[in-house]
Amino acid sequence: MNMLEIKQLTKKFGEYTAVDNLSLSVQEGEIFGFLGPNGAGKSTTIHMATSLLSATKGEIEIMGRNITKHSRFAKQAIGFVPQDLAIYEDMTAYENVHFFAGLYGLRGAELKRSAIEALEFVGLADRQGSYPKSFSGGMKRRLNIACAIAHRPKLIIMDEPTVGIDPQSRNYILNSVRKLNRRGSTIIYTSHYMEEVEEICSQIAIIDHGKIIAEGTKAELKAIITNQKNISITVRSTERLPMEQLKSIVGVNTVEAAEQTINISSAVEINNLNPIIQLLVASGVEIRGVEAQEPSLETVFLTLTGRTLRDE
Which residues are paired to 291 by β-bridges? Answer: 232
SS3 231: strand
* Nearest-5° Cα angle at 19, 13 to 23: 150
Sheet arrangement for strand 228-235 = 252-257, 261-267, 228-235, 287-293
* 186-191 and 155-159 beta bridge pairing: parallel
Q: Which of 23, 52, 179, 260 binds another protein (CB under 8 A)?
A: 52
Of 59 and 199, nearer to another protein (C-beta) is 59
Window 92-131: contact mask with another protein (x via CB under 8 A): ---x---xx-xxxx--------------------------
**Bridge-partner residues for 46, per DSSP?**
none
For another protein, which stretch binds (CB under 8 A), given 57-65, 88-96, 166-174, 232-240?
88-96
Out of 2, 17, 230, 272, which residue is the one contacting another protein (CB under 8 A)?
17
Distance CA 146, CA 232 (A): 44
CB of 42 to another protein, least distance (A): 15
With contact defined as beta carbons under 8 Å apart, do 170 and 3 qualify?
A: no
Distances, alpha carbon 269 to alpha carbons 181, 195, 230, 245, 252, in Å: 26, 19, 12, 20, 11
Select from 63, 125, 213, 257 the one that contacts another protein (CB under 8 A). 213
Contact between 163 and another protein by CB under 8 A: the answer reads no
Residue closer to another protein, measured from CB, 96 or 176? 96
Among 76, 232, 238, 245, binds another protein (CB under 8 A): 76
Closest CA to 149 of 190, 192, 96: 96
Among 63, 163, 174, 223, binds another protein (CB under 8 A): 223
**Is 225 a binder of another protein (CB under 8 A)?**
yes
Q: How far is the CB of 47 from another protein (least distance, A)?
A: 8
The residue within the footprint of another protein, chosen from 116, 163, 174, 224 (CB under 8 A), is 224
Q: Given the rule CB under 8 A, which of 24-32, 87-95, 187-195, 285-293 is the region that contacts another protein? A: 87-95
Q: Site for another protein (CB under 8 A): which residue of 50, 176, 190, 203?
A: 50
Query: SS3 letters for 87-119?
Result: CCCCCCHHHHHHHHHHCCCCCHHHHHHHHHHHH
Query: What's the burial of 58, exposed, middle or buried (CB within 10 Å: 0-12/13-18/19+)?
Result: middle
Tell me, by CB under 8 A, how many residues bind another protein.
48
75 binds another protein (CB under 8 A): yes
Q: Which residues bind another protein (CB under 8 A)?
A: 15-17, 20, 50-54, 71-72, 75-76, 78, 80, 82, 84-91, 95, 99-100, 102-105, 147-148, 208-209, 211, 213, 223-227, 303-307, 311
